[in-house]
Amino acid sequence: MSSAGRFLSLSAFIFIFLFPAAFASESDHKYQVNDPVTLWVNKVGPYNNPQETYNYYILPFCRPAGDSPHKWGGLGEVLGGNELIDSLINITFRKNVDKSLICQLDLTADKVAQFKDAIENSYWFEFFMDDLPLWGFVGELHPDKNSDNRKHVLYTHKSITVKYNNDQIIHVNLSQETPKPLEDGIIWDMTYSVKWVPTNITFGRRFDVYLDYPFFEHQIHWFSIFNSFMMVIFLTGLVSMILMRTLRNDYAKYAREDDDLETLERDVSEESGWKLVHGDVFRPPRNLVLLSAVVGTGAQLALLVLLVILLAIVAMLYVGRGAIVTTFIVCYALTSFISGYVSGGMYSRHGGKSWIKSMILTASLFPFMCFGIGFILNTIAIFYGSLAAIPFGTMVVVFVIWAFISFPLALLGTVVGRNWSGAPNNPCRVKTIPRPIPEKKWYLTPSVVSMMGGLLPFGSIFIEMYFVFTSFWNYKVYYVYGFMLLVFLILIIVSVCVTIVGTYFLLNAENYHWQWTSFFSAASTAVYVYFYSIYYYHVKTKMSGFFQTSFYFGYTLMFCLGLGILCGAVGYLGSNLFVSRIYRNIKCD
């Protein structure tokens, strides 16, 4: 074969590999009459434990002879624990199927025991047809007329109703019928039927049936947004009216002319508060490398969340399996420049010298924290044989994205940040000898200010956390990203206002260690969210078992770490602007 021929063959192979569905009806969702329609089996697991899912054929259902084709989705779909296998059930477009045999299920003692255990644990399963999900339960417990016990019954017939509009599938529904008792030595016929029904619903609205409008657009949801908005108005008014009035009085006192020597000496002798620490307030904070890394990472996460929410609103990402997760990973890699830029500039402005150490920590801090938690959860999933276990190939793909996209962009951002925004711009000169910090009342200590600072930001997102948790842990599709955008902006504003007030109180107490305090003051929001997750687990869910408990608190910990870093960075950056502004307007010696 010539070089040109080999090149064309290779190009065709790469094109087919990257876009395998471009030649299949399922990719463009258009079918001709009598075209084959694939019914994909996905997973099965206990209904009360959403993450404890297994391969559908872990139960002794009828399995097609030979190796069934698999459908490999995107990165987010694999991370979401999906494994689609062709059921090889004969379904053709717009052709009704009367009761037909799938297979004969020969019930042995082991199979009966497996099915009974699944029924007692309320096992459900998930199928897909044309990217539309179908759900059903394996069986149920029926009262036994001859005794006080309940008998286990297995559904043996699957009735599938498909609604179509011209050449496109609009809706699919699965009804479980013909329950049969589970008894050793009996052979049951496993059957199915398909009914095609025309509809006027357009293809663009076909996913609406899966959206729970009464739940997400409930009056309480609207009231929570209004309540949070009123909190923003109150806090911004507090900062502008009370804080600015106090500062204006301070400025007036500090800017008096020295024509009255006696008055000036009296004012100086009585001088106290934030003005006294002007020679220490811009002193480099402890653990500068770590603070720079978390602030840079938090700035990246803030931009990342905003970007993903906007994409979810515009592109309706909730429609695709794993689309949100894939978008999050890709956008995280592409926004790594921001973390490097913010971290590098901050580290250089405070006189840091080990910029390579700062850059490596910034690029790897959050990913490696998530990797550590994910490694533990993945080990548990492998031990249980669950689909939640991440395949090795997927791990390699994620690592390649981090190593060849995220890490270089963080390095580039650090270099640009050091050169463009790394010059010191402190309005006051830092004194050589640190000023001693006087003892103050307990409520003005950094630890108390930090823990109190997270209460109002948590209050602003409290109701939204309920909807987010319910959608993630209770099989609801979260689609109200407009609400999430408003709540996110409210969270940012409230976090900035709260940390500014806390920083001012701290400086008035002549404590100039405001950097970490401002970070933790906003980051403590995540602590309250984690406490709320414990309440939600015990009161709002019926989860049980080591597997699901580990995944629930592991995923929640991962989420809260990201939320804490995001809020902490926003709080620090807001306080930094505030401190620079107030000390720029006074006369520093």
Position 10 scores a pLDDT of: 34
Distance CA 525, CA 196 (A): 51
> How many residues are present in the chain?
589
Which amino acid appears at position 169 of this protein? I
With a CB cutoff of 8 Å and minimum separation 6, the contacts of 69 are: 85, 86
Q: pLDDT tens across 83-105, in order?
A: 899 998 999 999 999 999 998 99
Helices (H) and strands (E) in the chain, counts: 20, 11
With a CB cutoff of 8 Å and minimum separation 6, the contacts of 493 are: 232, 235, 236
Position 224 scores a pLDDT of: 79
At 175, give phi and psi (nearest 5°): -115, 130
Residue that the structure tokens 């064309």 belong to: 8
Contact call for residues 428 and 281 (beta carbons, < 8 A): yes
At 114, give phi and psi (nearest 5°): -65, -45
Position 526 scores a pLDDT of: 97
∠ CA(84), CA(401), CA(21), 5° rounding?
A: 35
Which amino acid appears at position 577 of this protein? L
Distance CA 455, CA 63 (A): 54
Position 256 scores a pLDDT of: 61
Position 572 scores a pLDDT of: 97
SS3 174: strand
Q: Which 8-state DSSP code applies to residue 138?
A: S
Which positions of the chain have pLDDT values less than 50?
Answer: 1-24, 257-259, 261-262, 264-270
Q: Is 475 left (phi over 0), alpha (psi -120 to 50) or beta?
A: left
Position 7 scores a pLDDT of: 34
∠ CA(402), CA(407), CA(409), 5° rounding?
A: 115
Mapping DSSP onto H, E and C, the string for 20-61 reads: HHHHCHHHHCCCCCCCECCEEEEEEEECCCCCCCEEHHHCCC
Distance CA 152, CA 142 (A): 6
Question: Residue 125: beta bridge partners?
Answer: 44, 136
Record the pTM.
Answer: 0.88
Report the first-to-last Cα separation within the chain, whole angstroms: 82
Pairing of β 187-198 and β 150-165: parallel
The tokens for 168 are 């496109």
Query: What sign does the dihedral 211-213-214-218 (CA atoms) show?
Result: positive
Position 66 scores a pLDDT of: 66
